Amino acid sequence: MPLNKTLFHDRTVISITGADRISYLQGIITQDVSNLDSDHCHYSALLTPQGKMIADFFILPIGKEILLDCAAEIGAKLLARLKLYKLRAQVDVMDVSNNWKVGAIWQTESTDAPLDRTTSVRMFDDPRLSDLGKRLLIATDQLSNFEAIEADKADASAYARYCISLGVPAFGCGFTSEDTFPLDVNFDALNGVDYKKGCFVGQEVASRMKRKGEVRKRTWIVTSEQEALEAGQSVMSGETTIGEITAAQQRQGLAIIRRDRLTKATAPFTVGENSAVTLHEPTYLGDTA
User: Over the stretch 54-66, which tens digit does the pLDDT of each residue have?
Assistant: 999 999 999 999 9
Residue ending a domain, among 106, 138, 171, is 171
The pLDDT of residue 36 is 92
Q: 131 and 8 in one domain?
A: yes
Structural domain range at position 61: 4-171
- Amino acid symbol at 53: M
The backbone torsions φ and ψ at residue 148, rounded to the nearest 5 degrees and listed phi first, read -80, -15
End-to-end C-alpha distance for the chain, whole angstroms: 31
The pLDDT of residue 257 is 97
Residue 37 lies in a domain: yes
CA distances 151 to 5, 69, 139, 141, 157, Å, are 6, 23, 19, 20, 17
Residue 197 lies in a domain: no
Residue 203 lies in a domain: no
Model confidence pLDDT, tens digit, residues 220-235: 999 998 889 999 999 9
For residue 111, pLDDT beyond 50 = no
The pLDDT of residue 2 is 65
Q: 280 and 224 in one domain?
A: yes
Q: 236 and 130 in one domain?
A: no
Q: 237 and 156 in one domain?
A: no
The pLDDT of residue 201 is 96
Contacts of 65 (CB under 8 A, 6+ apart): 15, 16, 17, 21
Residue ending a domain, among 171, 194, 225, is 171
The pLDDT of residue 274 is 82
Residue 207 lies in a domain: no
User: Do the Cβ atoms of 44 and 192 come closer than 8 Å?
Assistant: yes
Q: 135 and 14 in one domain?
A: yes
Model confidence pLDDT, tens digit, residues 257-280: 999 999 999 889 999 888 999 999
The pLDDT of residue 144 is 92
Q: 162 and 220 in one domain?
A: no
Q: How far is CA 282 from the centre of its chain?
A: 14
- Give every strand in the sheet of 92-95, ordered side by side: 42-47, 53-62, 65-71, 11-17, 92-95
Number of domains forming the structure of the chain: 2
Q: What is the mean pLDDT of the chain?
A: 91
Q: 222 and 102 in one domain?
A: no
CATH of the domain at 224: 2.40.30.110
- What is this structure's pTM? 0.93
Residue 184 lies in a domain: no
Residue ending a domain, among 171, 203, 227, is 171
With cut-offs at 50, 70 and 90, classify the pLDDT of residue 289.
low
- Count other Cβ atoms within 10 Å, centred on residue 37: 6
**Secondary structure class of 148 (helix, strand, coil):** helix
For residue 156, pLDDT beyond 50 = yes
For residue 118, pLDDT beyond 90 = no
Share of the chain above pLDDT 90, in %: 79
For residue 106, pLDDT beyond 80 = yes
Q: 135 and 265 in one domain?
A: no
The pLDDT of residue 112 is 46
Residue 208 lies in a domain: no
Please provide the DSSP assignment of 169-215 as one string: -EETBEE-TTSS-GGGGTTTTTT---TTS---TTHHHHHHHHHTS--
CATH of the domain at 57: 3.30.1360.120
With cut-offs at 50, 70 and 90, classify the pLDDT of residue 253.
very high
Q: 147 and 40 in one domain?
A: yes
Rounded to whole angstroms, the Cα distance separating 143 from 7 reads 9
Least confident stretch, 6-10, 17-21, 79-83, 213-217: 213-217
Residue 221 lies in a domain: yes
Residue 159 lies in a domain: yes
Q: 246 and 140 in one domain?
A: no
Q: 222 and 151 in one domain?
A: no
Q: 252 and 113 in one domain?
A: no
Share of the chain above pLDDT 70, in %: 93
